[in-house]
């Protein structure tokens, strides 16, 4: 298989670029994913805090469509 220059890949339609990015991400094993996106202790603690808050009150979650609308993205 011949290599495709990154400039050519960046010309793909958005949906195809997203699919390619997801396929590349999915091709990494768990260790590769952890190495690719290290999470420092402060961020890990914040994520744990937010997850615990969500588990205590899941009804407070806002649907993604509503968030997009509030941000003017949808």
Asked whether the beta carbons of 39 and 47 are under 8 A apart, the reply is yes
d(Cα 43, Cα 49) in Å, to the nearest integer?
Answer: 10
12 secondary structure, DSSP code: S
Q: pTM here?
A: 0.48
Phi, psi of 12 (to 5 degrees): -65, 155
Could you report the per-residue pLDDT of 14-58, keeping only the tens digit for each? 999 999 999 998 898 888 888 888 888 999 999 999 999 999 999
Residue 7 CB-density burial (10 A; 0-12 exposed, 13-18 middle, 19+ buried): exposed
d(Cα 59, Cα 68) in Å, to the nearest integer?
Answer: 18
């Amino acid at each position: 298989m011949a290599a495709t220059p990154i400039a050519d890949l960046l010309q793909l339609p958005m949906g195809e670029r997203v699919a390619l990015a997801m396929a590349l991400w999915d091709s990494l094993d768990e260790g590769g994913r952890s190495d690719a996106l290290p999470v420092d202790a402060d961020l890990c603690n914040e994520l744990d805090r937010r997850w615990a808050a969500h588990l205590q009150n899941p009804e407070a979650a806002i649907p993604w469509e509503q968030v997009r609308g509030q941000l003017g993205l949808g």
